[in-house]
Structure 1
Amino acid sequence: MEYDALTGWDDDSTAETYAAFTRAYPMYSASSRDLAARAGLTNSRVIVDLCGGTGTTAEAILALAPPDATIVSLDSSAAMQRIGRHLLTDSRLTWVNAPAENLAGHVPAHSVDAVVCNSALWKTNVAAVVTAVRRVLRPGGRFVFNIGGAFAGVTHPDAPVPPTGPSLTTLIQQIATRDYGIAPPTAAIPPKLPLPAITRLLADAGLDVVAAEVTGQRTTTAERAAWLSIPVFAHPEGALSYEQKMAILAEASTRTRPDDATVTSWLVIVAKLPEEAA
């Protein structure tokens, strides 16, 4: 089976591997806590966890939300949400199985204090999602999200540390070329959502950017390898089977040190609907 990082999330194997990863490693839980802290949830009554998956971000929101708050975790993957329902049983949390673009069809207009979206916005129709978010936010409400560094075209100052040897990704590509003749990508891919572009999309919807920060997250080689074992993220991209990709990953991992670390870059944005908005 071929998995796709944009459309392949409604799959039991992907959901189970992803959930196991989030419990074993801090990548998503740490970024979720960061976003939730920026959302100003102390007095929030209604909060949306957009593209919520198995509920890692919802868990961070629940830790900060008031006792009488309502949290809506919306995601298009039923497989991811099946796991989330077992992991999180807080009565404040409601699960909605729907695409992010359809948010406004499931949450009343002008009712939401904060929308939080972790590691997912670039996988959506961004303009449609921003429009939907603006419709559900109350005046003064916040939209807090992050964009992966490659998609935003940003690099944290701590990221360009000279590696001790070839990276795991480089080794995977070398093995794929050696064993399957798969050539590495040659053309640089322009960033999909640089800050000026996302600022324009937000402004077109009536949202103001009130904070934008490039953050860095420490990632060990062991964590990176575990992340690459999630079917939708397995490398190299293309026609190889998941089993073939895992064999490549296993060989590449033997040529790295699990505790070696790199810094992953993120663009974190806090947008707000002005208080005077109708």
Structure 2
Amino acid sequence: MEYDALTGWDDDTTAEAYAAFTRAYPMYSASSRDLAARAGLTRSRVIVDLCGGTGTTAEAILALAPPDATVISLDSSTAMQSIGRRLLSDPRLTWVNAPAEDLAAHVPARSVDAVVCNSAVWKTDVAAVAAAVRRVLRPGGRFVFNIGGAFAGVTHPDTLPMPSMPSLSVLIERITARDYGIVPAAAAVPPKLPLPVITRLLTDAGLDVVATEVTGQRTTTAERAAWLSIPVFAHPEGSLTYEQKMAILAEAAAQSNPDDVTVTSWLVIVAERPEQS
């Protein structure tokens, strides 16, 4: 079976694997708490969890939102939201099944104090999303989101000792080449959403970038292996089946030290709708 990293989210296997990962490992919950803290939610009345998936970010928002606030978790995946409804019950939380680009069709204009989006902007039409966010935000409202380092072209300055063994990515490449004759392309792929591009898209939509930061998150090899077992993230990309990719991952993990730590980089952006707009 094959899964596409853009369209495979509305799949029960992917949704269950993702939900299991978020419960077992801190990556998404930690980044969700960071974004929610940057959104300034203490006086917010309406907050949107954009591309909210199974509700990990909504949970972080609810922990900081006032008791009378409304949180709207919007996502296009029925499978992801089905799990979220099962795992997260709060009278302040409303689920909306729709693409991020259609946000303004489901939320009244100038009604939202903050929009938070964790790890998902890269797979949207960013220009359309920025325009929709600007439309629903109140003047002074915030749009807080992050982009993975590879997509943003950033690296956190923290350095760590070299791992005791080759990384999972290197081992996966070696095993794939040995068993299937598939060698990764040598040419480097330019980052899809570097800060100048993001800034231009937000500015064109009528939003001001007020803060940016490159953050780093420590990730063990065991956590990365679990992340790579989620169907939409399984490597190598391409024509191999999920079962073949999992066999490669299992062999690579067996040759790795599960406690080795690397730093995962993220570009965090805070934008606002100007007060006079």
TM-score normalised per structure 2: 0.99
Which residues of structure 2 form unaligned runs of 5+? none
- In 1, Cα distance between equivalents of 2:42 and 2:131: 25
Given that 2:216 and 2:263 are in contact with CA atoms closer than 8 Å, whether structure 1 keeps it comes out as yes
Deviation at 1:159, TM superposition (A): 4.9
Tell me the residue number matched to 1:49: 49
- In 1, Cα distance between equivalents of 2:16 and 2:192: 29
Tell me the residue number matched to 2:26: 26
Given that 1:159 and 1:264 are in contact with CA atoms closer than 8 Å, whether structure 2 keeps it comes out as no
Tell me the residue number matched to 1:221: 221
Aligned identity (percent) is: 83
Residue 66 of structure 2 corresponds to residue 66 of structure 1:
yes
- In 1, Cα distance between equivalents of 2:252 and 2:214: 30
Tell me the residue number matched to 1:211: 211
Paired residue total: 277
- In 2, Cα distance between equivalents of 1:127 and 1:232: 24
List aligned pairs for 1:95-174, cutoff 5 A. 95-159=95-159, 161-174=161-174
Given that 2:212 and 2:270 are in contact with CA atoms closer than 8 Å, whether structure 1 keeps it comes out as yes
- In 2, Cα distance between equivalents of 1:241 and 1:156: 33
Q: Counterpart of 2:91 in 1: which secondary structure? A: coil
Which residues of structure 1 form unaligned runs of 5+? none
Moved more, 225-234 or 152-161: 152-161
Residue 15 of structure 2 corresponds to residue 12 of structure 1:
no
Tell me the residue number matched to 1:189: 189
Show CA shifts across 1:255-278 (max 9, x none): 11111100000000000111111x
Deviation at 1:165, TM superposition (A): 2.5
Q: Counterpart of 1:188 in 2: which secondary structure? A: coil
- In 2, Cα distance between equivalents of 1:165 and 1:23: 27
Deviation at 1:163, TM superposition (A): 3.1
> What is the letter of the counterpart of residue 64 of structure 2?
L
> What is the letter of the counterpart of residue 51 of structure 2?
C
Given that 1:155 and 1:265 are in contact with CA atoms closer than 8 Å, whether structure 2 keeps it comes out as yes
Tell me the residue number matched to 2:266: 266
> What is the letter of the counterpart of residue 96 of structure 2?
V
Deviation at 1:162, TM superposition (A): 3.0
- In 2, Cα distance between equivalents of 1:119 and 1:160: 24
Given that 1:113 and 1:138 are in contact with CA atoms closer than 8 Å, whether structure 2 keeps it comes out as yes
- In 2, Cα distance between equivalents of 1:189 and 1:161: 26
Given that 1:159 and 1:265 are in contact with CA atoms closer than 8 Å, whether structure 2 keeps it comes out as no
Q: Counterpart of 2:40 in 1: which secondary structure? A: coil
Q: Counterpart of 1:91 in 2: which secondary structure? A: coil
Deviation at 1:160, TM superposition (A): 6.8
List aligned pairs for 1:61-100, cutoff 5 A. 61-100=61-100
Tell me the residue number matched to 2:276: 276
Deviation at 1:161, TM superposition (A): 4.9
Deviation at 1:164, TM superposition (A): 2.5
Considering only aligned residues, what root-mean-square deviation do their CA atoms show, in Å? 0.8
Q: Counterpart of 1:259 in 2: which secondary structure? A: coil
Q: Counterpart of 2:113 in 1: which secondary structure? A: strand
Tell me the residue number matched to 1:234: 234
Tell me the residue number matched to 2:201: 201
- In 2, Cα distance between equivalents of 1:260 and 1:165: 8
> What is the letter of the counterpart of residue 105 of structure 1?
A
Distance 1:146 1:56, change over 3 A: same
Given that 1:159 and 1:216 are in contact with CA atoms closer than 8 Å, whether structure 2 keeps it comes out as no
> What is the letter of the counterpart of residue 129 of structure 2?
V
- In 2, Cα distance between equivalents of 1:161 and 1:108: 50
> What is the letter of the counterpart of residue 247 of structure 1?
A
Deviation at 1:187, TM superposition (A): 1.1
Given that 2:44 and 2:65 are in contact with CA atoms closer than 8 Å, whether structure 1 keeps it comes out as yes
Q: Counterpart of 1:193 in 2: which secondary structure? A: coil
Deviation at 1:185, TM superposition (A): 2.0
> What is the letter of the counterpart of residue 154 of structure 2?
V
Given that 2:164 and 2:257 are in contact with CA atoms closer than 8 Å, whether structure 1 keeps it comes out as no
> What is the letter of the counterpart of residue 214 of structure 1?
V
Tell me the residue number matched to 1:2: 2
Show CA shifts across 1:146-182 (max 9, x none): 0000000000001575333311011011000100111
